[in-house]
Amino acid sequence: MFDKYDVQKRNNSRLIIMDHQFARTLWRRLKFSNKITQLVSNRKPLGFNVQGDWEMSGVNEAMRLNKYRHDEYFSPHKDAQYAPNGDERSLLSLVIYLNDNYEKGETKFYFPKAAPKFNTKGLTIEEEIQAYSGLENGYECVTIKPKKGYAVLFTHNLLHAAMAPHMENSLNVTERIVLRTDVLVQRIGKPLGFAICPEEQEDYLACLNFFREAQQNELKLYKNFGEFVKTSEI
């Protein structure tokens, strides 16, 4: 896979490895945790047609290794959902810190302090942040300092950022490395797939139009902006 990122938003490198066995190992560690079970209970995945009850079903086998060298970062963003089918979708992002022998390089999570000034439906991340009066004024920031072997679980729609590590005082350390994957949930009972119910039809069509508009804007941006980070899959 070759993909592109605007370096003003993200300039680190990423490697995707499909590892079914490691996904099973992570799943065995997670599924017996009462805290995680409580976190997932009564929660539904993002998107359309999420009626019914859902339960944890596994871990996404797509392991994304993110490497951050000195001054490389991932600006505030929300994670995308993985949906192998309409009845199994990702609900939580799982980040595992693989090293910690560097300075800074924290993960920051942003929680809105109050309701936005206007409807945020269909806005970009930058526009949504402004609707909440900016990062400094509109959000409560929680900072997680990386610790080797520790993991963080959070919902995909939580705004967060990966801060740049500093390596000047770290001997023989050239990068910050984290692994990112997803916790999956599965619909219990009758399969419904991706069928759109009548009350969701208007929002679904609006979402489809936003997606098409975003594609056109990205094409214009790529034409005028030459610096991108390429990712590859092996």
Q: How large a percentage of the chain has pLDDT more than 90?
A: 55
Asked if the model's pLDDT at residue 231 lies above 70, the reply is no
2 has a pLDDT exceeding 50: no
In whole angstroms, give the CA distance from residue 141 to residue 109: 6
Give the model's pLDDT for residue 74.
96
pLDDT at 228 over 60: no
What does the pLDDT read at residue 136?
95
What is the pLDDT averaged over residues 156-168? 91
Digit-coded pLDDT (tens) for 46-82: 888 898 889 999 999 999 999 999 889 999 999 999 9
- For residue 7, what is the DSSP state? T
Any idea which of 9-13, 128-132, 190-194 has the lowest mean pLDDT? 190-194
Q: How much of the chain, in percent, has pLDDT values that exceed 70?
A: 89
pLDDT, position 1: 31
Beta strands at 139-144 and 103-104: parallel, antiparallel or unpaired: unpaired
What pLDDT shows up at residue 180? 98
Mean pLDDT computed over every residue of the chain: 87
Please determine, for residue 8, whether its predicted confidence score (pLDDT) is greater than 80. Answer: no
pLDDT digits (tens, 9 = 90+) for 104-125: 999 999 999 999 999 898 888 9
pLDDT band, residue 197 (cuts 50/70/90): confident
CA angle 63, 155, 70 (to 5 degrees): 55
Specify the pLDDT at position 4: 58
Domains of the chain listed by start with CATH number: 3-233 (2.60.120.10)
Structure tokens of 182?
């997803």
9: DSSP letter: T
* Per-residue pLDDT at 225 exceeds 60: no
pLDDT greater than 60 at residue 232: no
Structure tokens at 82: 């993985």
More reliable by pLDDT, 10 or 223: 10
Buried b or exposed e, range 116-152, using 16+ CB within 10 angstroms: eeeebeeeeeeebbbbbeeeeebbeeeeeebeeeeeb
